[in-house]
């Protein structure tokens, strides 16, 4: 446990010092403030504006998340065995600490900006079409999607020693999957069409019974990736 | 009780490179064991197997009687490891790294700070303690590694080339430290290719060659392999007259001038060095020649090389024997074709 905590604290400190993290945070904060300002003029399309913001966050933010996640272990493999794993540390503790740290970083970056912006839209924009339940479910979905990406990136970084290769592979697989999903779910290729059901979800027009299975599936995939990363890493010679 | 016990330990990388080949090794607790071998002999791989960083392809490793693997962090709690590679997190400071290692080992905060301070002083890294590790010299990294290996007050130390990159003072300090650790009852594995270091510091030696342990025993046992009764004398005075005198009077001695001051004296095989050496010194003193120093000449290096050569010849003979068996034409009874 102490090995897990030592690596977790060390990795979180590294994340706090990362210029990528601070640049992305600044960029998304500016974008969030802009979204609130724009929404003041288009109250009846608030769900549409927020949905676009979220889709852009996933689209562009995925790249940042891949950089954060796919470098988790591969960036350290040159010295990991001699400097750290030769101490009182197990592969499981190491991978779990890295996963926790990168998940916390990514989710705090996401929720720390998107939650205040979403609720600013509800409370600041008169006659907006958002519901709290819709926002909560929408953010849960996107949070799980980002968590899945983090786990995928960390899993790749435990098996691929070259950090750049791990990132490149993650980018290719993720964006192909994301693109395929978006095209498959788009009603048509218009600004409204490509958002799929997300605006409806944010407006509260959904059935919870239908969403449980999708949420469960996402959690199952995340759990599988966590297990896989630990098993694959434990099999490596360090 | 043995600190280390391996049976048939083998590591093969990518199904082609045999890095460690059926090593049976037992190291009793409290021993300073010198693991010697040329570069690429498999020393580092063997240490990593003992730590559980590498999985054996075959065989077993027991440390303090328990099997070792990647999950045995509890055993590594009792081990201090110094890697040869000098691989550290490059962006960390020296003190930050030591603190992280201390936290991984679960050393309580107050105790950790005290040990950190003592170790940083002891390895003379105080002025560089807040420098990034990537900016440290090889010797400084070695000293940092030594400090990191001691932070958990281990029972067992595995040091891979601990004198590499060190100046003579640092090297002497490291060898003195090994002796001090032995007096505290710690077990030490010193992996090195600097043979005089191993000769000075170790109770037992093991020679690794192409992954095989070809010798295990004391330094004296190793030196017995060559059994060369040779001493180097550093002399001042009329050395030429002395050499002439020895050549005519002492039949069992052969002298060779190595330099202006150094004379190498070889005693005939079967002679007793303990009785012949005082006679030689007496002869020297009779010729108005001063002795600056007397030392045995390169014994451990010679013994090491002899052992490697023996192993090479044996390997060749084995291979030749096998080759002959396989290539010899088979003989079949008349009128009987092979199936």
Q: What is the pLDDT of residues B314-325, one digit of tens each?
A: 776 666 655 444
Q: Is it the case that residue B278 has pLDDT exceeding 90?
A: no
CB spacing of A81 vs B101 below 8 angstroms: no
**Between residues A45 and A120, the one the model is more confident about:** A120
pLDDT at B229 exceeding the cut of 80: no
The answer to whether the CB atoms of A78 and B87 lie below 8 A apart is yes
Residue A152's H or E segment, with its range, is helix A132-159
pLDDT, average across residues B288-306: 77
Query: Is residue B26 within 8 Å of residue B2, measured between CB atoms?
Result: yes
A238 touches chain B (CB under 8 A): yes
pLDDT of residue B330: 41
pLDDT value, residue B98: 94
How many angstroms separate the CA atoms of A178 and A184, rounded?
A: 10
- With CA atoms as reference, the chain B residue closest to A3 would be B104
Phi-psi region of B270 (alpha: psi -120 to 50; beta: other; left: phi over 0): left
Verify whether the Cβ–Cβ distance A92 to B74 is below 8 Å: no
- ipTM confidence: 0.83
Q: Tell which wins on pLDDT, B251 or B105.
A: B105
pLDDT of residue A187: 65
User: Is B53 in contact with A81 (Cβ distance < 8 A)?
Assistant: yes
pLDDT digits (tens, 9 = 90+) for B233-276: 888 888 888 888 888 887 788 888 888 888 888 887 667 777 78
Q: How far is CA B11 from CA A84, B56, B171, in A?
A: 22, 5, 31
Calpha distance A77→B62 (Å, rounded): 26
Q: Which residue has the higher pLDDT, A166 or B271?
A: A166
Q: Which among A5, A83, A91, A97 is the top mutation candidate for probing chain B, defined by the most B β-carbons within 10 Å of its own β-carbon?
A: A83
CB contact under 8 A, A88 and B55: no
The secondary structure of B189-230 as a DSSP string is EEEES-HHHHHHH-SEEEEEETTEEEEEE-HHHHHTTT---E
Task: Please check whether residue A150 touches B, CB under 8 A.
Answer: no
8 A C-beta contact, residue B48 and residue B54: yes
CB contact under 8 A, A89 and B48: no
Place of tokens 């490059």: B90
Neighbours of B114 (CB within 10 A): 12
CB contact under 8 A, A234 and B70: yes
Residue whose tokens read 């065995």:
A81
CA-wise closest residue to B103 among A13, A62, A2 = A2
Most confident of A138-142, A186-190, B262-266: A138-142
Rounded distance between C-alpha atoms, residue B52 and residue B48, angstroms: 6
Report the interhelical angle of A2-16 vs B94-104 (nearest 10°).
150
Kindly give the interhelix angle for A208-234 and A91-124, rounded to the nearest 10 degrees. 150
pLDDT 10s digits, B37-72: 888 889 999 999 999 999 999 999 999 999 998 888
Q: Is the pLDDT of residue B170 over 80?
A: yes
Contact B218, B210 (CB under 8 A): no
* DSSP structure string for A186-201: -SSSSTTGGGTTHHHH
User: Best interface-test mutation with A: which of B17, B73, B149 has the largest number of A CBs within 10 A?
Assistant: B73
Taking the CA of residue B257 and the nearest CA in chain A, the distance in Å comes to 48
Higher pLDDT, A144 or A235: A144
In tens, the pLDDT along B130-158 reads 999 999 988 889 999 999 999 999 999 99
Mean per-residue pLDDT over chain A, rounded? 88
pTM of the full predicted structure? 0.81
Lowest-pLDDT range, A114-128, A148-162, B140-154, B188-202?
A114-128
Which carries the bigger pLDDT value, residue B251 or residue A153? A153
Compute the distance between CA of residue B123 and CA of residue B195 in angstroms, rounded to an integer. 23
From CA B322, how far away is CA B147, in angstroms rounded?
A: 50
A83 part of contact set with chain B, CB < 8 Å: yes
Report the pLDDT averaged over residues A8-34: 93
Per-residue pLDDT tens digits for B10-26: 999 988 888 998 999 99
Instruction: Decide: residue B129, CB within 10 A, 0-12 exposed, 13-18 middle, 19+ buried.
Output: middle
Is A168 touching B (CB cutoff 8 A)? no
């Amino acid at each position: 446990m102490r090995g897990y905590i030592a690596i977790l604290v060390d990795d979180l400190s590294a994340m706090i010092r990362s210029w990528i993290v601070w640049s992305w945070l600044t960029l998304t904060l500016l974008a969030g403030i802009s979204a609130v300002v724009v929404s003041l003029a288009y109250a009846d399309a608030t769900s549409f504006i927020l949905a676009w913001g979220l889709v852009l966050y996933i689209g562009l933010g995925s790249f940042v998340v891949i950089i954060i996640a796919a470098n988790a272990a591969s960036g350290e493999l040159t010295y990991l065995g001699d400097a750290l794993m030769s101490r009182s540390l197990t592969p499981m503790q190491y991978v779990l600490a890295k996963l926790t740290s990168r998940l916390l970083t990514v989710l705090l970056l996401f929720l720390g900006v998107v939650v205040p912006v979403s609720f600013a839209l509800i409370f600041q924009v008169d006659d907006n079409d958002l519901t709290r339940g819709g926002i909560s479910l929408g953010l849960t979905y996107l949070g799980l999607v980002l968590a899945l990406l983090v786990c995928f990136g960390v899993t790749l970084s435990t098996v691929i020693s070259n950090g750049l290769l791990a990132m490149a592979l993650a980018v290719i697989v993720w964006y192909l999957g994301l693109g395929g999903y978006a095209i498959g779910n788009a009603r048509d290729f218009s600004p409204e069409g490509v958002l799929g059901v997300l605006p409806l979800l944010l407006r509260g027009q959904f059935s919870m019974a239908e969403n449980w299975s999708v949420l469960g599936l996402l959690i199952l995939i995340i759990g599988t990736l966590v297990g896989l990363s630990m098993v694959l890493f434990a099999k490596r010679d360090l | 009780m043995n600190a280390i016990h391996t049976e048939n330990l083998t590591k093969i990388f990518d199904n082609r490179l045999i890095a460690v080949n059926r090593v049976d090794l037992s190291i009793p607790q409290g021993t300073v064991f010198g693991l010697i071998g040329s570069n690429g002999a498999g020393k580092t791989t063997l240490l990593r197997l003992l730590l559980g960083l590498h999985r054996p392809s075959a065989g077993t490793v027991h440390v303090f009687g328990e099997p070792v693997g990647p999950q045995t962090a509890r055993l590594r709690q009792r081990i201090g490891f110094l890697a040869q590679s000098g691989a550290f997190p490059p962006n960390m400071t020296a003190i930050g790294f030591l603190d992280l290692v201390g936290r991984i080992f679960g050393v309580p905060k107050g105790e950790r700070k005290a040990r950190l301070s003592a170790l940083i002083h002891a390895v003379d890294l105080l002025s560089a303690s807040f420098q990034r590790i990537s900016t440290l010299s090889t010797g400084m990294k070695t000293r940092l590694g030594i400090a990191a290996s001691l932070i958990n007050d281990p029972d067992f130390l595995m040091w891979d080339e601990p004198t590499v990159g060190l100046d003579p003072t640092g090297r002497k300090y490291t060898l003195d430290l090994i002796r001090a650790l032995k007096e505290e009852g710690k077990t030490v594995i010193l992996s090195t290719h600097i043979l005089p270091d191993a000769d000075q510091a170790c109770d037992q030696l093991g020679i690794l060659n192409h992954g095989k342990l070809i010798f295990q025993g004391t330094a004296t046992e190793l030196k017995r392999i060559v059994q060369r009764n040779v001493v180097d004398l550093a002399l001042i005075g009329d050395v030429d007259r002395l050499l002439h005198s020895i050549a005519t009077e002492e039949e069992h001695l052969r002298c060779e001038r190595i330099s202006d001051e150094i004379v190498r004296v070889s005693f005939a095989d079967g002679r007793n060095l303990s009785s012949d050496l005082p006679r030689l010194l007496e002869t020297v003193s009779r010729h108005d020649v001063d002795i600056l120093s007397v030392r045995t000449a390169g014994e451990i290096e010679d013994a090491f090389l002899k052992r490697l050569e023996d192993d090479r010849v044996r390997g060749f003979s084995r291979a030749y024997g096998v080759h002959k068996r396989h290539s010899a034409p088979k003989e079949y009874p008349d009128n009987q074709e092979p199936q």
